[in-house]
Structures are given as C-alpha cells and as structure tokens.
C-alpha cells in the first residue's frame, strides 16, 4: 500500500505536530476507518440535530495492556465501553467522540488495526464517531495508545433509571457469564498458558437494553459490572439504595474455563472485570419477561436471575451484599479495596 502505512513504519512526533504528517495520519487511518456523514463534514466540532428531551453524556478513558487481546482490542473496547455507559443510563446512544494519545514508536500497522476495529465496532453498533482528536507524546510518556471516548444518547419518554428506585423484593438479573474479560486480559498480559484461549466478552449492549426497556419500562437500574466486577457494582448499588442484596452462587453463570483459571489464579470471578455484561434490577413480576428478551440477544444468551433485593438497611453498614454459597452458607461479598490484597491466610 502506498501512503504512510509502509512496512515497519511507526508513529513519530511529527504525526502529532499539526502539519502534513498529522493530516495524513488522520486521513489515511482514522477518517478512512471511521467514515460516516457527520465526521465526513470535516468540522472541528460535530453538529448534531437532536430532538428535545433528556440527554445522557458519558466519558471513559481507556488504558489497557496489551492493546490487542483475544476477543477485542483497545479500539473496539473504547467504543463498547462508552456505548454501554450511555445505555446503562437508559439512553439510546447517538454519537461518540474519540481522543487518541499515541506514544511515539507505536507501529502504524498496530494503530491501523485498532482504528479499523474501532470503526467496525461503531458501524456494527450504528453509533458514529462524530469527532475526534489525536496527540503524539514522547516515548515513555504513554503506554502505546490511550483512547478516550465520549458518548451522548437520548433517554426515551417514561424511562427512569436510578439506583434510588431499587426497592426491597426486586429481582437482580445478570446478562451472562462473569470474568471473561478480566481473565482474558490477565492471561494474555502475563503469558499464562491456559489450555484454551479465553476471550474477552467486549460487546455493545445498547440494542439489548433498548428492547428490555421497551418491554419493561419500570426497570429500576442498569449497570455494567466493569472494573471491580459484579461485587463492586452491587455493593455500590446496595449502598446507594440503602438496601441489602442476596445472591445465589449456584445461579451465577461462569464459563468452566474461566472458573478453572480463576481457581488456579486464586481470583474470584465475582471481583473480575467484564466488558459486555450488564446487571438489571427490576420488579420481580417482570424478571421473566426481561430475561427472555435478554436471552434473545447473543450478548444475553446466558442471562439469569442471580439474586434479589432484601430489606432496607442503613447505607454504610458493612455486609449489605451477601451470597448463598454452593454448600448452603451465607457469606458476605465485600468489594475489594483496590488490589486483590489477600485478607486472610
């Protein structure tokens, strides 16, 4: 191929200088892969025509090592992550922006792969990348590539997603298996040789969410259990809503290969990050209908009710989130303060 993508070529400081090299980088990589009518207008700021109503806006900075991993890469992850954050607000995503911080020396071929994957993810999700920015920093000032995406979306009439609406007796639903993303990244990063390749679950969930909300507008809360995993997400919600929650360990779906890896690693899938899963809390009488809708989507194939909301409790009380274990015990599911630092041994 002619142009900047010569074999062995890498990003140079000049690519961020604002001159010809920058223009070529944007045109030959980003504009080519992201092509859509809004971006193609070529303005510094994207202009969007929106109807009146409530708008959701969310931003996420993505830093991940390795940049490419089984089941995805930082590009598709940056698209999915922000689309999901918008969707968890109960909104229909409208457009994304993307800002790139590139470390000098990143192979152009890698950048091209990632941009292609990012464009494909946005196209598949039907959410255009409407505007963007690119900066190049000196070697060592970044780790390959950082991508920040911002998304906006519109909340349909009659939808009210808020933790405060979580009430005793509600059902806690999970859209699929836990731990896939975190374990995929960890095994890739550390070169851990598990027998089978574990793939990240990175996926956009907005279409499934749209169908769920259309069928059950009284869904109280939606969250994607990313960093900190399911335990952090539910502890946060229990705290915010001032309720206790009880999970059933036997009902929580985990892929056998992920469970096996976690057993050896000494990690609990409940604390591990996911990038294509959501937790839905809804009135119990709607649980079955919502589950059926989730299961009709490939991202929700393994959806299950994993627990229920218990009584009101003072926020800040330790032990709000509990889990009935496989042997019938009831254990407190704590969130981890930062690293998975062992407490007992």
Partner 1 sequence: MSAKGLSIRVRGTVQGVGFRPFVWRLARELGVTGEVSNDGQGVRIAAWGDEAELDELARRIRDEAPPLARVVGIEVCGLEGQGWGAFRIVESGQGATTTAIPPDAATCPGCLAEIRDSAERRHGYAFTNCTHCGPRLTIARAIPWDRAQTSMADFPMCEACAAQYGDPADRRFHAQPIACAACGPHLWIEGAEGEPIAAAVQLLRAGAIVAVKGLGGFHLACDAMNAQAVAELRRRKARDAKPFAVMTARPEDLCEVGAPARALLESAAAPIVLLPRRGAVPDALAPDQDHLGVMLPATPLHHLLMAEFGGPLVMTSGNRSDEPQVIDNAQARETLAGIADAFVMHDRAIENRLDDSVLAMDEAGAPIPIRRARGFAPAPIALPFDDLPPVLACGGELKATFTLIRGGEAMVGPHIGDLEQAAALGDYRAMLDLYRRLFDFTPEIVAVDAHGGYLSTQMGERIAQETGAALVRVAHHHAHMAACMADNGVQDGQHVGLLLDGLGLGPDGALWGGEALRGGYRGVERVGGFAPVPLVGGAAAMKEPWRNLLAHLRVAFGADWRAAAGPVIAHLPDEARLRLAESMIDSGTNCPPCSSAGRLFDAAAAALGIYPARISHEGQAAMALEALARPFDEAAWDVAPALEWSGLWRALLGDLDAGVAPGRIAARFHATLARALAHQAAAAGAPGGHVILSGGVMQNRVLLAALRREIRARGMVPVAHKQVPANDGGLSLGQGIIAALGERGE
Give CA 157 to chain center in angstroms: 25
Separation between Cα atoms, residue 5 and residue 158, nearest integer Å: 49
85 binds, among Mg ion, partner 1, none (CB under 5 to 8 A by kind): Mg ion
Q: Which is nearer to partner 1, 17 or 329 (CB)?
A: 329
Among Mg ion, partner 1, none, the one that 104 touches (CB under a kind-dependent 5 to 8 A) is none
Which among Mg ion, partner 1, none contacts residue 60 (Cβ within 5 to 8 A by kind)?
Mg ion
Structure tokens at 332: 């407190």
Distance CA 298, CA 142 (A): 36
Among 50, 192, 250, 296, binds partner 1 (CB under 8 A): 192
- Residue 186 within binding range of partner 1, rule CB under 8 A: yes
Q: What tokens were used for 79?
A: 């698209």
Q: Is 311 in the site for partner 1 (CB under 8 A)?
A: no
Is 330 a binding residue for partner 1 by CB under 8 A? The answer is yes
CB of 236 to Mg ion, least distance (A): 13
Cα(4)–Cα(142) distance, integer angstroms: 22
DSSP annotation string for 180-233: HHHHHHHHHHTT---SSPPPP-----HHHHHHHHHH-TT--EEE---TTHHHHH
Q: Is residue 60 within the footprint of Mg ion (CB under 5 A)? A: yes
- Identify the three-state secondary structure at position 171: strand
Region near Mg ion per CB under 5 A, out of 11-19, 24-32, 77-85, 130-138: 77-85
Q: What is the DSSP string of 129-150?
A: EEEEEEEEE-TTSSSSEEEEEE
Q: Which is nearer to partner 1, 42 or 318 (CB)?
A: 318
Q: Which stretch binds Mg ion (CB under 5 A): 1-9, 82-90, 140-148, 182-190?
A: 82-90
Q: What share of the chain is helix, strand, coil (3-state, %, to 5)?
A: 35, 25, 40
In the bound complex, what is the minimum distance in angstroms from residue 230's beta carbon to partner 1? 17
Number of residues near Mg ion (by CB under 5 A)? 2
Q: Is 267 in the site for partner 1 (CB under 8 A)?
A: yes
Question: By the 8 A CB rule, do 293 and 212 touch?
Answer: yes
Sheet strands side by side (includes 145-155): 54-62, 145-155, 92-103, 129-137
In 17-50, which positions are buried (b, 16+ CB within 10 angstroms) versus exposed (e)?
eeeebbeebbebbbbebbebebbeeeeeebeeee
The entry of partner 1, Mg ion, none near residue 37 (CB within 5 to 8 angstroms by kind) is none
Query: Which tokens hold the place of 63?
Result: 């830093």
Based on the shown chain and the rule CB under 8 A, indicate whether residue 288 belongs to the binding site for partner 1.
Answer: no
Query: 307: which DSSP letter?
Result: E
Q: Please tell me whether residue 85 binds Mg ion under the rule CB under 5 A.
A: yes
Name the residue whose CB lies closest to Mg ion. 60
Q: Which stretch binds partner 1 (CB under 8 A): 3-11, 51-59, 173-181, 322-330?
A: 322-330
Binding status of residue 37 toward partner 1 by CB under 8 A: no
The residue from 44, 195, 256, 311 that contacts partner 1 (CB under 8 A) is: 195
Nearer to partner 1, 175 or 188 (CB): 188
* Residue 20 near partner 1 by CB under 8 A: no
* Shortest Å distance, C-beta 268 to partner 1: 9
Least separation in angstroms between residue 328's CB and partner 1 is 6
Beta bridge partners of residue 59, listed in sequence order: 150
**What is the closest distance, in whole angstroms, from the C-beta atom of residue 345 to partner 1 in the complex?**
4
Written as six digits, the tokens of 106 are 């990143």
Helix, strand, or coil (residue 54): strand
Interface residues with partner 1 (CB under 8 A) are 186, 189-195, 263-267, 316-319, 322, 327-332, 334, 336-337, 340-345
Interface residues with Mg ion (CB under 5 A) are 60, 85
């Amino acid at each position: 191929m002619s142009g900047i993508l010569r074999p062995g070529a890498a990003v140079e400081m000049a690519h961020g200088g604002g001159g010809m090299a920058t223009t070529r980088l944007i045109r030959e990589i980003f504009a080519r892969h992201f092509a859509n009518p809004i971006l193609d207008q070529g303005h510094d700021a994207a202009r969007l025509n929106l109807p009146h109503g409530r708008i959701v806006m969310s931003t996420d900075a993505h830093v991940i090592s390795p940049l490419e991993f089984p089941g995805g890469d930082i590009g598709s992850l940056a698209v999915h992550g922000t689309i999901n954050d918008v969707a968890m607000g109960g909104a229909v995503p409208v457009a994304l922006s993307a800002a790139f911080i590139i470390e000098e020396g990143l192979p152009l071929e890698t950048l091209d792969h990632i941009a292609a994957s990012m464009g494909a993810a946005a196209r598949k999700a039907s959410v255009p990348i409407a505007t963007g920015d690119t900066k190049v920093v000196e070697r060592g000032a970044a780790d390959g590539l950082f991508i920040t995406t911002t998304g906006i979306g519109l909340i349909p009439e009659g939808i009210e997603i808020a933790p405060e609406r979580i009430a005793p007796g509600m059902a806690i639903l999970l859209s699929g298996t836990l731990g896939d993303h975190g374990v995929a990244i960890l095994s890739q990063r550390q070169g851990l040789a598990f027998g089978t390749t574990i793939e990240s679950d990175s996926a956009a969930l907005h279409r499934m969410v749209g169908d769920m909300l259309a069928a059950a507008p009284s869904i109280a809360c939606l969250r994607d259990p990313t960093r900190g995993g399911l335990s952090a997400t539910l502890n946060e919600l229990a705290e915010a809503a001032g309720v206790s929650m009880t999970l059933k360990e036997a009902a929580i779906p985990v892929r056998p290969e992920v469970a096996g890896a976690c057993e050896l690693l000494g990690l609990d899938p409940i604390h591990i990050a996911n990038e294509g899963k959501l937790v839905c809390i809804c009135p119990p009488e709607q649980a079955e209908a919502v589950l059926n809708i989730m299961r009709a989507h490939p991202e929700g194939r393994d959806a299950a009710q994993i627990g229920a909301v218990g009584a009101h409790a003072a926020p800040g009380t330790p032990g709000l989130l509990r889990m009935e274990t496989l042997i019938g015990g009831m254990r407190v599911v704590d969130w981890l303060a930062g690293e998975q630092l062992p407490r007992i041994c």
